[in-house]
Structure formats: C-alpha cells, structure tokens
Chains A and B, each alone.
Chain A
Amino acid sequence: QSVLTQPPSVSAAPGQKVTISCSGSSSNLGNNHVSWYQHLPGTAPKLLIYDNDKRPSGIPDRFSGSKSGTSATLGITGLQTGDEADYYCGTWDTTMRVFGGGTKVTVL
C-alpha cells in the first residue's frame, strides 16, 4: 500500500492529453514539493518534474506538473507512443521519501 495514491492506469490516443493524479495528505504533499518520474521497464527511471512544476533540462514542455493542497497532477499533451511507460509521483513524508503506486500510461 503506497503512501501516495495514483490511478493504476490511464490511456488516450496519440496526440491527445492525459492527466495523472497523485493524492496524499498533510504530512506529505500538503507540506512538501512533488516530483514525477517516467519509468520504462528495464531502464533507469527519469525525472520529469521537480518542485511541483519545474522541468529538468531536456524534458519537453509537453510534460507539466501542478500541485494544490494535498494533491498533484502530471499532464502529458501531444501523447506519443514513446510516452507509454509507468509514471510515479514522489515527495517527503515527515522523515522519509515516499512514492505513489505508479500509473501505467497506454497510448491507444
């Protein structure tokens, strides 16, 4: 049981938009920044978003992040087949790092 709650899966057609939610509580998302990671099995997870809405160098602006209260959202626009992956949110919870259970994005 993950501390942060994500939907198991989302899907959309190429070119469309998907959003992935991440729900927490006052001890984690309510008081800390959220980050988002893209993970293709067999590869190293990749940081997509940090500090709620910032993108590291090289991450396209098709990926966006937001946070409000104890919830956060990752948006992916212009969906591509290469975006098929698992996506995780993460943050601090009191004294430890925590993650969501992951959301599988399927491009129809």
Chain B
Amino acid sequence: QVQLQESGPGLVKPSETLSLTCTVSGAFLTSYYWSWIRQPPGKGLEWIGYMYNSGTTDYNPSKYNPSLKSRVTISVDTSKSQFSLKLSSVTAADTALYYCASQHPSMVAFDYWGQGTPVTVSS
C-alpha cells in the first residue's frame, strides 16, 4: 500500500525559506509525478507544483503554479524515497496545511496523498 508522509518545521519566519519533505513508502519514485498542494485556513486546495521522476538524469520535468513559480523548487531523492518542497521568501499568506501527493502518468488525478502538515509563517 502506498503511503506518503510530510515532515518539516511547523513554524517559519517571514522572508525565510519553507522546506518540507515527503517520504514515500510502498512505491518506487520513478515514472510518477510528485506534487505539493496546500490549503490555507478556511480556503480551498491550491496546487503548488509537481516534478516528474523519469529515473534518468536528463529528463525530470517540473511544472509550478504560475503564482508561485518564482519562489518554488520541487526535487526528488530516489535514494531516500523522498521528494521535497522549498518555498522562498515566505509571508503570512503562505500559512497553510501542506500536502504531498502522487499522480500515476496513466491518470489525470492525484491517486495518493499524505495527511498534511501545518505550516505557520510568523515572527
């Protein structure tokens, strides 16, 4: 059974970089899309971006939400069965519940999700 688990600091200071990790069990990280999604308090889901892990070093495309693109980096570490999110120059507007999720290439949907980790941006 595929399981995803987010981890990282629950509190980040304004202007600093938010860093989260998603640990994957029950699945290989190759040939899958790995996404981050967030939900600000009282609001709906917002897709942050994804990275596709092909298993080769020369083709691992990523795509990000245009509203966050300049601040986001998603990377995959197959040796640790993890993928990560870095969001720079955070503000209070980045306070949210952050989810990691997977997408099999055969479907246009997120087939597995983590249970989410809360991040608060505050000094």
Contact = CB atoms under 8 A, between A and B. Distances in A.
Interface of A: 2, 32-33, 35, 37, 42-47, 50-51, 54, 56, 88, 90-92, 95-102
B44 A102 contact: yes
B44 A44 contact: no
B110 A90 contact: yes
Contacts of A33: 108-109
B112 to A, nearest CB: 8
B4 A44 contact: yes
B63 A35 contact: no
B107 interface: yes
Of the candidates A32, A44, A47, A56, the one having the most CB atoms from chain B within 10 angstroms of its own CB is A44
A35 B44 contact: no
Contacts, number: 65
A5 to B, nearest CB: 11
Contacts of A46: 113
B44 A47 contact: no
Contacts of A96: 47, 63, 65-66
Given A88-B45, A95-B63, A96-B66, A35 B115 contact: no
Where chain B touches its partner, the secondary structure class is loop
A102 B107 CA distance: 21
A98 B47 contact: yes
A21 to B, nearest CB: 15
B75 to A, nearest CB: 19
A100 B45 CA distance: 8
Contacts of A51: 107-109
Residue among B45, B47, B110 with max Cβ neighbours from chain A (10 Å) = B45
A101 B108 contact: no
B99 interface: yes
27 contacts: A33-B108, A35-B108, A35-B110, A37-B110, A44-B112, A44-B113, A44-B114, A45-B101, A45-B113, A46-B113, A47-B110, A50-B107, A51-B107, A51-B109, A54-B107, A56-B111, A95-B63, A95-B66, A96-B63, A96-B65, A97-B35, A97-B50, A98-B47, A99-B44, A99-B47, A102-B44, A102-B45
